[in-house]
Amino acid sequence: MRRAVRTAGLAGAVTVGSGAAALAWGAGYEVRSPRLRRVEVPVLPPGQPPLRVLHLSDLHLTPELRRVPAWVEGLADLEPDLVVDTGDHLSSPDAVPTVLRCLDRLLDRPGVFVLGSNDRHGPKRANPLLYLRGPSRLTPDREPLPTQDLVDGLTSRGWVDLDNARAVVDVAGRRVRLVGVDDPHIGLDRYDDVRSPTPDQAAAEEGADVALGVLHAPYRRVLDPMADDGLDLLLAGHTHGGQVCVPFVGALVTNCDVPRRCASGLHRWRSGQGPVPAPLLAAAGPSAGETWLNVSAGLGTSPHARVRFACPPEATLLTLVARTV
Protein backbone atom coordinates (compact mmCIF):
# COMPACT_ATOMS: atom_id res chain seq x y z
CA MET A 1 0.00 0.00 0.00
CA ARG A 2 2.80 2.42 0.92
CA ARG A 3 4.53 1.71 -2.39
CA ALA A 4 1.27 2.42 -4.27
CA VAL A 5 0.82 5.67 -2.38
CA ARG A 6 4.41 6.70 -3.14
CA THR A 7 3.94 5.82 -6.83
CA ALA A 8 0.70 7.80 -7.04
CA GLY A 9 2.34 10.73 -5.32
CA LEU A 10 5.27 10.65 -7.71
CA ALA A 11 2.94 10.49 -10.71
CA GLY A 12 1.00 13.45 -9.39
CA ALA A 13 4.16 15.42 -8.82
CA VAL A 14 5.34 14.69 -12.38
CA THR A 15 1.96 15.79 -13.76
CA VAL A 16 1.99 19.02 -11.77
CA GLY A 17 5.61 19.64 -12.71
CA SER A 18 4.90 19.06 -16.40
CA GLY A 19 1.94 21.40 -16.27
CA ALA A 20 4.00 24.09 -14.58
CA ALA A 21 6.76 23.69 -17.18
CA ALA A 22 4.25 23.96 -20.01
CA LEU A 23 2.73 27.09 -18.47
CA ALA A 24 6.16 28.64 -18.03
CA TRP A 25 7.01 27.87 -21.67
CA GLY A 26 3.71 29.23 -22.96
CA ALA A 27 3.68 32.38 -20.84
CA GLY A 28 7.40 33.09 -20.76
CA TYR A 29 8.64 32.23 -24.24
CA GLU A 30 6.13 31.12 -26.84
CA VAL A 31 3.69 34.01 -26.42
CA ARG A 32 6.57 36.43 -27.11
CA SER A 33 8.05 34.54 -30.06
CA PRO A 34 6.12 35.35 -33.25
CA ARG A 35 6.71 33.55 -36.52
CA LEU A 36 6.10 34.34 -40.16
CA ARG A 37 4.14 31.64 -41.96
CA ARG A 38 4.61 31.58 -45.75
CA VAL A 39 2.19 29.92 -48.15
CA GLU A 40 1.30 30.05 -51.85
CA VAL A 41 -2.28 30.27 -53.08
CA PRO A 42 -3.12 29.66 -56.78
CA VAL A 43 -5.80 32.28 -57.40
CA LEU A 44 -4.45 34.65 -60.06
CA PRO A 45 -5.32 34.42 -63.75
CA PRO A 46 -2.93 32.27 -65.79
CA GLY A 47 0.29 33.98 -66.76
CA GLN A 48 0.27 36.65 -64.04
CA PRO A 49 3.30 37.25 -61.81
CA PRO A 50 2.94 36.64 -58.05
CA LEU A 51 1.24 39.09 -55.70
CA ARG A 52 2.33 39.18 -52.05
CA VAL A 53 -0.29 39.72 -49.33
CA LEU A 54 0.68 40.15 -45.68
CA HIS A 55 -2.10 38.95 -43.37
CA LEU A 56 -2.08 40.41 -39.83
CA SER A 57 -4.61 39.70 -37.10
CA ASP A 58 -5.34 39.93 -33.38
CA LEU A 59 -2.59 42.23 -32.18
CA HIS A 60 -4.42 42.80 -28.84
CA LEU A 61 -1.94 45.52 -27.93
CA THR A 62 -1.43 47.37 -24.67
CA PRO A 63 1.05 50.24 -24.25
CA GLU A 64 3.59 48.26 -22.23
CA LEU A 65 4.12 45.52 -24.83
CA ARG A 66 7.42 45.72 -26.67
CA ARG A 67 8.62 42.50 -28.27
CA VAL A 68 5.74 41.59 -30.60
CA PRO A 69 5.12 45.20 -31.72
CA ALA A 70 8.80 45.56 -32.61
CA TRP A 71 8.61 42.34 -34.62
CA VAL A 72 5.53 43.60 -36.49
CA GLU A 73 7.32 46.86 -37.30
CA GLY A 74 10.01 44.80 -39.00
CA LEU A 75 7.51 43.10 -41.31
CA ALA A 76 7.62 46.22 -43.46
CA ASP A 77 10.99 44.94 -44.70
CA LEU A 78 9.05 42.22 -46.56
CA GLU A 79 7.65 44.96 -48.82
CA PRO A 80 4.26 43.27 -49.30
CA ASP A 81 2.12 44.40 -52.20
CA LEU A 82 -0.98 44.50 -49.96
CA VAL A 83 -1.62 44.29 -46.21
CA VAL A 84 -4.85 42.69 -44.97
CA ASP A 85 -5.55 43.29 -41.28
CA THR A 86 -8.40 41.22 -39.79
CA GLY A 87 -8.99 43.08 -36.54
CA ASP A 88 -8.74 42.96 -32.74
CA HIS A 89 -5.97 45.52 -32.51
CA LEU A 90 -6.69 46.77 -28.98
CA SER A 91 -6.61 45.45 -25.44
CA SER A 92 -6.52 48.84 -23.70
CA PRO A 93 -8.14 52.28 -24.16
CA ASP A 94 -4.61 53.72 -24.32
CA ALA A 95 -3.35 51.40 -27.06
CA VAL A 96 -4.26 53.28 -30.26
CA PRO A 97 -0.91 55.14 -30.42
CA THR A 98 0.86 51.81 -29.83
CA VAL A 99 -1.03 50.22 -32.73
CA LEU A 100 -0.33 53.10 -35.11
CA ARG A 101 3.35 53.19 -34.16
CA CYS A 102 3.63 49.43 -34.60
CA LEU A 103 2.02 49.59 -38.07
CA ASP A 104 3.61 52.88 -39.13
CA ARG A 105 5.84 51.61 -41.95
CA LEU A 106 3.23 49.12 -43.15
CA LEU A 107 0.71 51.97 -43.40
CA ASP A 108 2.83 53.33 -46.24
CA ARG A 109 1.77 50.30 -48.28
CA PRO A 110 -1.70 49.55 -49.71
CA GLY A 111 -3.85 48.03 -46.97
CA VAL A 112 -7.35 47.11 -45.87
CA PHE A 113 -8.81 46.24 -42.47
CA VAL A 114 -11.87 45.16 -40.54
CA LEU A 115 -12.58 45.49 -36.84
CA GLY A 116 -13.05 42.82 -34.18
CA SER A 117 -15.04 42.89 -30.98
CA ASN A 118 -11.92 43.82 -29.02
CA ASP A 119 -11.59 47.01 -31.05
CA ARG A 120 -14.82 48.18 -29.40
CA HIS A 121 -14.98 46.52 -26.01
CA GLY A 122 -12.17 46.10 -23.51
CA PRO A 123 -11.11 42.66 -22.29
CA LYS A 124 -12.59 41.19 -19.12
CA ARG A 125 -11.14 38.53 -16.87
CA ALA A 126 -13.02 35.25 -17.34
CA ASN A 127 -12.66 31.57 -16.57
CA PRO A 128 -10.77 30.15 -19.58
CA LEU A 129 -12.56 26.81 -19.17
CA LEU A 130 -15.74 28.53 -20.35
CA TYR A 131 -14.28 28.56 -23.88
CA LEU A 132 -14.61 24.78 -23.95
CA ARG A 133 -18.38 25.21 -23.78
CA GLY A 134 -18.68 27.25 -26.96
CA PRO A 135 -18.06 30.73 -28.43
CA SER A 136 -17.63 33.53 -25.92
CA ARG A 137 -20.35 36.11 -25.42
CA LEU A 138 -20.15 39.86 -25.10
CA THR A 139 -21.18 41.02 -21.63
CA PRO A 140 -22.66 44.49 -21.06
CA ASP A 141 -20.02 45.54 -18.51
CA ARG A 142 -17.09 45.66 -20.94
CA GLU A 143 -15.13 48.92 -21.07
CA PRO A 144 -15.68 50.91 -24.31
CA LEU A 145 -12.56 51.45 -26.41
CA PRO A 146 -11.67 54.41 -28.70
CA THR A 147 -12.78 52.67 -31.88
CA GLN A 148 -13.14 55.78 -33.98
CA ASP A 149 -9.64 56.97 -33.09
CA LEU A 150 -8.32 53.64 -34.36
CA VAL A 151 -10.34 53.80 -37.59
CA ASP A 152 -9.33 57.42 -38.21
CA GLY A 153 -5.68 56.58 -37.60
CA LEU A 154 -5.72 53.76 -40.15
CA THR A 155 -7.83 55.45 -42.84
CA SER A 156 -5.90 58.73 -42.60
CA ARG A 157 -2.86 56.81 -43.83
CA GLY A 158 -4.76 55.34 -46.77
CA TRP A 159 -5.91 51.95 -45.53
CA VAL A 160 -9.47 51.03 -46.52
CA ASP A 161 -12.12 50.20 -43.91
CA LEU A 162 -13.92 47.08 -45.16
CA ASP A 163 -16.47 46.76 -42.35
CA ASN A 164 -19.61 45.88 -44.34
CA ALA A 165 -18.08 47.47 -47.42
CA ARG A 166 -16.70 46.80 -50.90
CA ALA A 167 -13.61 48.30 -52.47
CA VAL A 168 -11.19 48.01 -55.37
CA VAL A 169 -7.49 48.54 -54.68
CA ASP A 170 -4.82 48.88 -57.36
CA VAL A 171 -1.86 46.78 -56.26
CA ALA A 172 1.37 46.13 -58.15
CA GLY A 173 -0.30 46.61 -61.52
CA ARG A 174 -3.30 44.46 -60.58
CA ARG A 175 -6.84 45.34 -59.53
CA VAL A 176 -7.98 43.60 -56.37
CA ARG A 177 -11.70 43.41 -55.60
CA LEU A 178 -12.46 43.22 -51.89
CA VAL A 179 -15.60 42.59 -49.86
CA GLY A 180 -15.60 42.72 -46.07
CA VAL A 181 -17.91 42.51 -43.08
CA ASP A 182 -17.91 43.85 -39.55
CA ASP A 183 -17.31 41.31 -36.78
CA PRO A 184 -19.61 38.27 -37.02
CA HIS A 185 -18.68 37.22 -33.48
CA ILE A 186 -20.85 39.99 -32.08
CA GLY A 187 -23.45 39.99 -34.85
CA LEU A 188 -22.32 43.09 -36.73
CA ASP A 189 -21.85 41.36 -40.11
CA ARG A 190 -24.15 42.57 -42.90
CA TYR A 191 -22.93 40.61 -45.90
CA ASP A 192 -26.33 40.62 -47.59
CA ASP A 193 -26.12 44.43 -47.70
CA VAL A 194 -22.83 44.42 -49.62
CA ARG A 195 -22.73 41.14 -51.55
CA SER A 196 -24.21 42.76 -54.68
CA PRO A 197 -22.36 45.83 -56.01
CA THR A 198 -24.10 49.05 -56.94
CA PRO A 199 -23.86 49.99 -60.64
CA ASP A 200 -20.92 52.30 -59.89
CA GLN A 201 -19.19 49.60 -57.87
CA ALA A 202 -19.78 47.03 -60.59
CA ALA A 203 -18.17 49.34 -63.14
CA ALA A 204 -15.17 49.89 -60.87
CA GLU A 205 -14.80 46.15 -60.21
CA GLU A 206 -15.02 45.09 -63.85
CA GLY A 207 -11.91 43.27 -64.95
CA ALA A 208 -10.51 42.79 -61.44
CA ASP A 209 -7.71 40.23 -61.34
CA VAL A 210 -8.59 38.63 -57.99
CA ALA A 211 -11.37 38.87 -55.39
CA LEU A 212 -10.78 38.68 -51.62
CA GLY A 213 -13.22 38.37 -48.72
CA VAL A 214 -12.18 39.86 -45.37
CA LEU A 215 -13.70 39.20 -41.94
CA HIS A 216 -12.57 38.98 -38.35
CA ALA A 217 -14.33 35.87 -37.04
CA PRO A 218 -14.77 33.02 -39.56
CA TYR A 219 -18.41 32.06 -39.10
CA ARG A 220 -20.07 29.76 -41.63
CA ARG A 221 -22.95 32.16 -42.26
CA VAL A 222 -20.43 34.51 -43.91
CA LEU A 223 -17.93 32.02 -45.33
CA ASP A 224 -20.56 30.06 -47.27
CA PRO A 225 -22.12 32.98 -49.19
CA MET A 226 -18.68 34.42 -49.89
CA ALA A 227 -17.71 31.07 -51.39
CA ASP A 228 -20.96 30.95 -53.36
CA ASP A 229 -20.21 34.40 -54.75
CA GLY A 230 -16.92 33.26 -56.23
CA LEU A 231 -14.47 35.13 -54.02
CA ASP A 232 -11.04 33.62 -54.61
CA LEU A 233 -9.60 33.82 -51.10
CA LEU A 234 -11.09 34.59 -47.67
CA LEU A 235 -8.97 35.95 -44.82
CA ALA A 236 -9.97 35.81 -41.14
CA GLY A 237 -8.52 35.74 -37.63
CA HIS A 238 -10.19 35.65 -34.20
CA THR A 239 -9.44 32.02 -33.29
CA HIS A 240 -5.91 32.61 -31.93
CA GLY A 241 -5.24 29.22 -33.50
CA GLY A 242 -6.79 27.67 -30.41
CA GLN A 243 -4.20 29.57 -28.31
CA VAL A 244 -3.50 26.57 -26.06
CA CYS A 245 -3.19 23.49 -28.25
CA VAL A 246 -2.41 19.85 -27.57
CA PRO A 247 0.62 18.49 -29.45
CA PHE A 248 -0.41 16.02 -32.18
CA VAL A 249 -4.07 16.93 -31.52
CA GLY A 250 -4.21 20.65 -32.26
CA ALA A 251 -6.73 23.25 -31.20
CA LEU A 252 -9.41 22.33 -28.68
CA VAL A 253 -11.61 25.32 -29.51
CA THR A 254 -12.04 27.92 -32.26
CA ASN A 255 -14.38 30.36 -30.43
CA CYS A 256 -16.68 30.26 -33.45
CA ASP A 257 -18.42 27.60 -35.54
CA VAL A 258 -15.67 26.42 -37.89
CA PRO A 259 -14.15 22.98 -37.24
CA ARG A 260 -11.10 22.79 -34.98
CA ARG A 261 -8.86 21.84 -37.90
CA CYS A 262 -9.63 25.30 -39.35
CA ALA A 263 -8.35 27.09 -36.24
CA SER A 264 -5.38 28.29 -38.30
CA GLY A 265 -3.75 27.85 -41.67
CA LEU A 266 -4.83 27.64 -45.30
CA HIS A 267 -7.80 25.45 -46.22
CA ARG A 268 -10.08 24.78 -49.15
CA TRP A 269 -13.63 25.73 -48.09
CA ARG A 270 -16.79 24.43 -49.75
CA SER A 271 -20.13 26.16 -49.16
CA GLY A 272 -22.49 23.99 -47.13
CA GLN A 273 -19.78 21.47 -46.35
CA GLY A 274 -16.85 23.27 -44.78
CA PRO A 275 -13.19 22.30 -45.23
CA VAL A 276 -12.48 19.74 -47.92
CA PRO A 277 -9.22 17.89 -48.66
CA ALA A 278 -7.19 19.61 -51.32
CA PRO A 279 -3.50 19.96 -52.17
CA LEU A 280 -2.43 23.41 -51.04
CA LEU A 281 -0.66 24.10 -54.33
CA ALA A 282 -3.43 22.80 -56.58
CA ALA A 283 -3.04 24.32 -60.01
CA ALA A 284 -6.71 24.49 -60.88
CA GLY A 285 -9.11 27.06 -59.52
CA PRO A 286 -11.87 26.09 -57.08
CA SER A 287 -15.12 24.68 -58.42
CA ALA A 288 -18.45 26.44 -57.89
CA GLY A 289 -19.05 27.16 -54.22
CA GLU A 290 -15.41 26.59 -53.29
CA THR A 291 -12.76 29.04 -52.20
CA TRP A 292 -9.54 29.25 -50.23
CA LEU A 293 -9.70 30.24 -46.55
CA ASN A 294 -6.72 31.50 -44.55
CA VAL A 295 -7.24 31.75 -40.80
CA SER A 296 -4.48 33.54 -38.92
CA ALA A 297 -3.54 32.31 -35.45
CA GLY A 298 -2.89 35.98 -34.69
CA LEU A 299 -0.20 37.80 -32.81
CA GLY A 300 -1.63 38.53 -29.38
CA THR A 301 -3.84 37.39 -26.54
CA SER A 302 -6.09 38.89 -23.90
CA PRO A 303 -4.00 40.68 -21.24
CA HIS A 304 -5.71 38.38 -18.74
CA ALA A 305 -4.40 35.24 -20.45
CA ARG A 306 -0.98 35.99 -21.91
CA VAL A 307 -0.08 32.43 -22.71
CA ARG A 308 0.19 30.28 -25.84
CA PHE A 309 1.16 26.67 -26.06
CA ALA A 310 1.93 24.71 -29.24
CA CYS A 311 0.45 27.71 -31.05
CA PRO A 312 3.00 30.53 -31.49
CA PRO A 313 1.92 34.03 -32.53
CA GLU A 314 2.04 34.48 -36.27
CA ALA A 315 1.62 36.66 -39.30
CA THR A 316 1.19 35.15 -42.76
CA LEU A 317 2.81 36.11 -46.03
CA LEU A 318 0.52 34.75 -48.75
CA THR A 319 2.05 34.66 -52.19
CA LEU A 320 -0.81 34.66 -54.68
CA VAL A 321 0.30 32.79 -57.78
CA ALA A 322 -1.29 32.04 -61.13
CA ARG A 323 -3.54 29.10 -61.81
CA THR A 324 -2.40 26.97 -64.73
CA VAL A 325 -5.93 26.27 -65.98
Domains of the chain: 33-322 (3.60.21.10)
**Within a 10 A sphere around the Cβ of 154, how many other Cβ atoms?**
23
Beta strands 51-56 and 314-322, pairing class: antiparallel
pLDDT confidence band for 286 (50 / 70 / 90) = low
Range 306-322 burial, b when 16+ CB lie within 10 A, else e: bbbbbbbbbbbbbebbe
**In what helix (H) or strand (E) does residue 155 lie, and over which residues does it extend?**
helix 147-155
Give the list of residues 6+ apart from residue 112 with CB closer than 8 angstroms, or none.
82, 83, 84, 85, 159, 160, 161, 162, 167, 169, 178, 180, 214
What pLDDT shows up at residue 128? 61
How far apart are the C-alpha atoms of 174 and 109, rounded to whole Å? 15
Residue 222: is its pLDDT beyond 70? yes
pLDDT 10s digits, 69-85: 999 999 999 999 999 99
What pLDDT shows up at residue 284? 52
**Within a 10 A sphere around the Cβ of 257, how many other Cβ atoms?**
15
Strands of 254-313 (E only): list them.
265-270, 274-276, 290-295
Lowest mean pLDDT: which of 237-241, 247-251, 262-266? 247-251
What pLDDT shows up at residue 201? 96
Q: What average pLDDT does the segment 170-197 reach?
A: 97
Region for 209 from its dihedrals, namely left if φ exceeds 0, alpha if ψ lies in -120 to 50, beta otherwise: alpha
Q: What average pLDDT does the segment 124-132 reach?
A: 62
Stated pTM of the model: 0.89
Residue 26: is its pLDDT beyond 70? no
